[in-house]
Amino acid sequence: MSTVEPTTVLVKTDTIQPPLKKTKFNNNATKKPQHKNKKMKKTIDPFSLIGTYQQAQDKDIEQLLSSNNLTKENVSNDSDFIRKLLKTQQKEELAKYHRLVENVEILEITSQGEGLGLIESPFENRLKQIVIVPFTLKGDVVNVHIHTTHELVVHADLVDIVKESPIRDNSLINCKYFGICQGCNYQHTEYKNQMALKKQTIVSAYKYFAPSLFDELKEKSKFSEVVESPRKYKYRTKITPHANIAKSVKKEALEKLQNNEPITNIPNLGFEKSNKHFWRAEHKNDLELQTKNKFGSILDVESCSISTDLVNNGLKVSKQKLINDFPTFKNNQYNVFIREKTTTSSPTLKDIEDNLVIPKAEDSSKPAFEEWSEDSFRSCTSNQRQTIQEVVCGKKFDFVANEFFQINTSILPLVIEHVLTNSKIENTSQKERYLVDAYCGSGFIGIACSDKMDKVLGVEVSERAAQSAAENAKLNNIENCKFIAGDAEKIFKEVDIPAELTTVIMDPSRKGSNQGFLDQLSEYAPAKVIYISCNVNTQARDMEYFVKETKNGGLYEIDHVTGFDFFPQTHHVESVIVLTKK
């Protein structure tokens, strides 16, 4: 759920680049850039999570300009000048630019769920600034306070809503912290509107990053409706809140401890703030909340509405631990990890006292389609290295807590159903089906589909996760799955199953796949390709390359692109594209 800290983003992305070709020269190209000289402007890797989102935002902005008959020449910001004012602490001068602007109409929503508006530039007459405002919707008219200036855009806090968008309904807001917290973008609109916004994100990604596929996809209505999550709230089974502990606060607390006085100034534990003004009526009247959140970048959150009850109980325990430990804590950063798990081992008395265990019968959040044994129950852990279990689609999955596993398990059976339906190959018997599970993690997709397959081959770069995948096959008494550790491309050396009866599933991380994998996939030419992605921008880029640039890519027809709402209330969307060899 990490998003961009606006002041640190500076990226030039005038042209879309193809998926990265791995060579000995650029093996590190997807790693975070190193900033040896702090004075240097940070540049952002365009293939990173932030980089691809930034590219999408740049395209959203181009779109906004062109639909208002404007170009970048009509925009005037002087970010270097503003940086100098910031550096020399010229607050009065800065206030002329980082200013309150009233009655800003929100014209569009970016792929990151933020509003875009056009305002007059304070730098040059008749020129414009593009303003990005969180927690707004198309059609809102708002007052905003600009706090950051970049070359092309300015970022602002939402201060007040003057006129509400037709799709805004603040009465739907479910969380005390919505409007300040970085975690959610869309609690203020009906769920069906969230689905429409997420579909738009997918459509825009293909328009921006797969321009030569886009017209046909649109014309042939290949963009399907986004599949809803069974759980709209209380779905997150993992959170990673943190606290910044200022030295002065620690010192004050230690003194109070020594004098046997109660500690009153406790660091906030929670998530990054996304808006520093209090625009919700509830917040305007809540002086306690305002005081607690006047300074610092972390919002104190005692409960998160999109996380499960157990995870929230874990958060309470972590807060208590912070209160007990922070005066003597060595670091200034306190990072917490909380993850739900299924367990059959006896809970400790402490876990029961802390409400960190929910017996099967009392678990109201358990979806009906999960199969649990009588003696299992849900619990949670703060130990990232612990091997934990999830039970999904009737199968058990053991994995190390900090390795990848989806955090909204309620929607996973729907994804598996989609994969099984779309991996059917015409004119073949039911059992003559093979699956390659590339980027397989701890084997979730391959194992969940294995009953319907003759054979499953999986590949995963993390040795620990690949080992978990092999162990999970054994745990579920499955004999037709084989998992190997290594770069995804390695699977094409191992593959011993007929391409014309095989579906290749690929589910890479946010940075997407690379030319090496896509070239070999094309060479292998399976009957079906199903590409699942939590970053539709890199998915679209990879698909453009696969279909248009690889040897056999032109033989494939795109059946459909379908969003799955893995992350309700946020702007994130999982995108699944299905291709069939003609």
Ligand X SMILES: C[S@@+](CC[C@H](N)C(=O)[O-])C[C@H]1O[C@@H](n2cnc3c(N)ncnc32)[C@H](O)[C@@H]1O
449 vs 513: CA distance, rounded Å = 22
Cβ nearer to ligand X, comparing 439 with 546: 439
| Closest CB to ligand X among residues 49, 154 | 49
- Name the β-bridge partners of 388: 399
- Is residue 445 part of the contact set for ligand X (CB under 6 A)? yes
Determine the interface stretch with ligand X among 217-225, 280-288, 314-322, 456-464 (rule: CB under 6 A).
Answer: 456-464
Could you tell me which stretch among 43-51, 99-107, 144-152, 502-510 binds ligand X (CB under 6 A)?
A: 502-510
Residues 397-426: x where in contact with ligand X by CB under 6 A, - otherwise, as a string: -------xxx--------------------
Residue listed under structure tokens 């409007």: 179
Q: Cβ(167)–Cβ(193) under 8 Å?
A: yes
Q: Just list the catalytic residues.
A: 534
Q: Is 557 helix (H, G, I), strand (E, B) or coil?
A: strand
142 scored as a contact of ligand X (CB under 6 A) = no
**Alpha-carbon separation of residue 190 from 167, 173, 335, 502 (angstroms):** 7, 10, 33, 40
Distance CA 497, CA 456 (A): 9
Which stretches of 387-450 are assigned E, i.e. beta strand? 387-392, 395-400, 434-438
Q: Per rule CB under 6 A, is residue 458 in the interface with ligand X? A: no
Query: How many Å apart are CA 243 and CA 94, to the nearest integer?
Result: 30
Q: What's the closest the beta carbon of residue 534 comes to ligand X, in angstroms?
A: 6
Min dist CB 449 to ligand X, Å, is 11
Residue numbering of the annotated binding site for S-adenosyl-L-methionine: 406, 439, 460, 507
Q: Min. distance of Cβ 180 from ligand X in angstroms?
A: 29
Query: Among 53, 97, 278, 444, which residue interacts with ligand X (rule: CB under 6 A)?
Result: 444
Q: Does 447 bind ligand X (CB under 6 A)?
A: no
Answer for the pair 569, 233: CB distance below 8 angstroms, yes or no: yes
Binding residue count for ligand X, defined by CB under 6 A: 18
Q: Does 311 bind ligand X (CB under 6 A)?
A: no
Q: What is the DSSP string of 234-267?
A: S-B-EE--EEE--HHHHHHHHHHHHTTPPP----
Nearer to ligand X, 377 or 405 (CB): 405
461 binds ligand X (CB under 6 A): yes
- By the rule CB under 6 A, 109 interacts with ligand X: no
Cβ proximity to ligand X, 298 vs 488, nearer residue: 488
Under rule CB under 6 A, residue 488 binds ligand X: yes
Using left for φ > 0, alpha for ψ between -120 and 50, and beta otherwise, residue 111 falls in: alpha
Q: What H or E segment, with its residue span, contains residue 450?
A: none
Closest distance between ligand X and the C-beta of residue 439, in Å?
A: 3
**Helix, strand, or coil here: 560?**
strand
Q: Is the dihedral of CA 273, 246, 333, 241 positive or negative?
A: negative
Binding positions for ligand X, rule: CB under 6 A: 404-406, 439-441, 444-445, 459-462, 465, 487-488, 507-509
